[in-house]
Amino acid sequence: METLVVGCGLTGSVIGRFLAEILNKKVIIWDRRNHIGGNMYDYYDEHGILVHKYGPHIFHTKKKELYDYMCKFTEWEEYKLTYMAQIDGKFTPTPFNFQTIDDFYSEEDANDLKNRIKKVFGDRKIATVVEVLNCDDEKIRKYGEFLFEKDYSLYTAKQWGISAKEVDPSILKRVPLRFSYDIGYFDDEYQVMPKTTYVDFFKNLLNHKNIEVRLGIEALDYLKIDKVKRKILVNNKVVDFPVIYTGALDELFDTCYGKLPYRSLHFEWKYENIESKQDAPVVAYPQEDKFTRITEYKKLPKQEVKGTTYAVEYPLSYDEQDNMEPYYPVLTEESMEKYNRYLNIAKTIDNLYLAGRLADFKYYNMDQALERALSLCKILKDKIY
């Protein structure tokens, strides 16, 4: 074994390919799941509908170099996601736009509000809900309060497991409101999905003579860290070859400083013999008691099939003992301090390299995960050669 990569998601697979192809290293990739592709894994269900096991994935980026990288390993088709929210029984676009104003105001009041927005915000196309909540114009401010009370506070409370009263508007500064009738969830220049499947993309990415993928392996049953000697042990033997680790960092160090907090998800899968379940592929349901959103997969990408398969998404507290997946790191001052204690140990181990959503304790979109993987590839090239 010349190099070991733990994790066969996008980060681990990209780094594995680089080590095998560019650095000509023999690469072993371990993954505890029984499939390649990490959270991007997709498959055809019993009704012949292509679904994403771990939630909807659309590759989107503003950076051509990242899009070009993905194109090396499969063909892609443009796909612009439309996303909606159901508020008071009405479906309205999200990010919220002028259509949202039309949906919930009389024609006269809607026109007045849109004119006020244009007067206050000028040519700006977007603003955060926080800006709208703090606007001097009372009617604009009331619009922000309506959205916060009906959507943002409720959705965030469910997603992060806190009461609506505890939701701090400051955490919503990155959530845009559109001052136009533009629709579409992302604004990136490149928004695509595979012509075939994400699994096909990963098969091509991992198809190299120097790569061996071993599935169903719980890496930490074989991989240990000697925290005193600052050494990596594989099968109880000290190793000096590079180990790229993309898993949860606290678990690598036996949670010696305590567990890092994550939020998990439960998907309730359903099939109905109907043409359409909802007005968009993904719809948020902030006013529902327990679930946050529904993804209808025959629309993501559009598939000409009978009936429809959809997944209802329930946020949960993460508990590794219940075989849950850690999806979202809970970023607080306390959790970041704890993570940095683990990271400081990791930095003292010369042949240990960290990357990915879990190892970095960050929530990455696919393009961010790819960029992070490619940045580590440059470091590996400098260190190994």
> Which DSSP string corresponds to 152-198?
IHHHHHHHHT--GGG--GGGGTT-EEESSS---S---SEEEEESS-H
Handedness of CA 135, 140, 146, 151 (dihedral sign): negative
What number of other Cβ atoms are within 10 A of residue 41's Cβ? 21
Given the candidates 3.55.10.10, 3.40.50.720, 3.30.360.10, 3.40.50.1970, the CATH classification of the domain at 3-41+193-260+329-384 is 3.40.50.720
Mean local confidence (pLDDT), 243-254: 96
Instruction: Pick the closest to residue 20 from 207, 215, 256 (CA basis).
Output: 207
Contact 55, 265 (CB under 8 A): yes
Q: Running DSSP on this structure, what letter comes out for residue 253?
A: T
Mean pLDDT over 97-106 rounds to 98
Q: What is the mean pLDDT of the segment spanning 104-110?
A: 97
Sequence ranges of the domains in the chain:
3-41+193-260+329-384, 90-178
Peptide bond connecting 194 to the previous residue in cis, omega within 30 degrees of 0: no
pTM: 0.93
The whole-number average pLDDT for the span 175-189 is 92
Rounded CA-CA distance 32/76 in Å is: 28
311 pLDDT exceeds 90?
yes
pLDDT greater than 90 at residue 171: no
Q: How confident is the model at residue 161 (pLDDT cuts 50, 70, 90)?
A: confident
Q: Over the range 3-32, which residues count as b (16 or more CB within 10 Å of their CB) and which as e? A: bbbbbbbbbbbbbbbbbbeebebebbbbbe
| Cα radius of gyration (the chain) | 23
Tokens 């509000």 belong to 113
The encoded tokens of residue 242 equal 């590079």
First to last CA, the chain: 17
Question: Which distant-in-sequence residues (6+ apart) come within 8 Å of 371 by Cβ?
Answer: 63, 66
What are the distances in angstroms from CA 29 to CA 208, 366, 375?
Answer: 12, 20, 19
Instruction: Please give the pLDDT value at position 321.
Output: 67
| pLDDT at 14 exceeding the cut of 70 | yes
**CA torsion angle 225 227 231 232 (round to 10):** 10
Query: Looking at residue 169, what is its pLDDT?
Result: 64
Please tell me the total number of residues recorded for the chain in this structure.
385
Tokens of 214: 């071993």
Residue 27: its pLDDT value, please? 97
Return d(Cα 72, Cα 368) in angstroms, integer: 18
Of 339, 341, 337, 352, the closest CA to residue 229 belongs to 352
Looking at 22-174, list the stretches that DSSP marks H as alpha helix, in order from N- to C-terminal side.
Answer: 64-71, 98-104, 107-121, 129-133, 138-147, 153-160
Contact 231, 238 (CB under 8 A): yes
